[in-house]
A = this chain, B = another copy of it.
Amino acid sequence: MATSKIVKGTDITLSIKKDIQDRIVRFKNTRPKLVTIRIGESPSEVSYETSILKKLTPLGIECNPIVLDQKITQQKFDTIFDKVNNDSSVNGILLLKPVPKKISLEHVNKTINPIKDVDCIGLTNIAYIYQKEKGFLPCTVEAVQKIIRYLDINQKGIEIVIVGFSQVIGLPLTLLMIDNGSTVTVCHEYTKDLKKECKRADLLISATGVVNLIGKEYVKEGAIVIDVGVNNDTNQHITGDVNSKEVLPLVKYLTPVPGGVGAVTTYVLAEHVVTAFQKMSFQN
């Protein structure tokens, strides 16, 4: 239960961390291993990679970052990927995105071992979401789900408005929310009256990358707002889609950026790596 309007990610991740540590401790001589693959030196990718190392290592997850030159060839990239994909000591593979435009992810998407596909980029896991089978949800989407559960939101029949329909977040999030019994409206750049649509929401989820998109006219009183945006504002601060100054007085709950969804996402990644580790240990 949230004790204030602002839903801090750290309130949710406390129990996730403990659960992960309990699960790892049972495997005495081996540790789960996550390989991250980064091409180039984009600051946001470096930052996410650092954050992953910093948060997952103390839990007992071994993190091996692979850093490749921006100019890497398709063939070399695919070969390096295959090695990691076939390495039985590796339990999770995370590809930091976006990759350079000249690099195609077709081979990766087709061949990534679904067990190691901890951020759900491969065809098999994607189809699993679609068919509602066991597989990994993208980490950010599962983070939103954990927040919803943490807030004890009864999803059946509520109005959810999702703003932004990216393949990585908006799409799977939409499928998940409908599956949970909510009436879901999806809005995007072509939506005619975004304020009117958003104001209908009991739960408003914004994942657009537009700073200060969601102001007071977008929110009905008592609504819950989950901000999935991760943007750099004019002062190079991380900020979300929501104008929290305007919105906070109106809502029941709001997730802050930073320290909201993003904070939970990294620990969902950790959970996925541990799950993969457990599956692969039982296979051997």
Looking at the assembled complex, report how far the CB atom of A212 sits from the nearest CB atom of chain B, in whole angstroms. 21
Which residues of A (40-68) have their CB < 8 Å from a CB of B?
A: none
- Contact of B183 with A184 in the complex, beta carbons under 8 Å: no
Count the copies. Answer: 2
Q: With the chains together, A68 CA to B272 CA distance in Å?
A: 41
Q: With the chains together, A233 CA to B176 CA distance in Å?
A: 33
Asked, given contacts A124-B127, A184-B186, whether A178 binds B191 with beta carbons under 8 Å apart, the answer is no
Instruction: Check: A119 CB closer than 8 A to any chain B CB.
Output: no
Total interface residues in chain A, CB < 8 Å: 30
- How would residues 96 to 130 of chain A score, 1 for a CB under 8 Å from any chain B CB and 0 otherwise? 00000000000001000000000000011011111
Instruction: Check: A249 CB closer than 8 A to any chain B CB.
Output: no
Besides A126-B131, A129-B130, A174-B174, 12 other CB < 8 A contacts?
Answer: A123-B123, A126-B127, A127-B127, A132-B167, A165-B178, A174-B186, A181-B188, A181-B190, A183-B190, A183-B192, A185-B185, A185-B186
Query: 11 A-B pairs, CB-CB below 8 angstroms?
Result: A109-B127, A123-B131, A126-B127, A126-B130, A130-B130, A130-B171, A157-B192, A171-B175, A183-B190, A183-B192, A184-B186
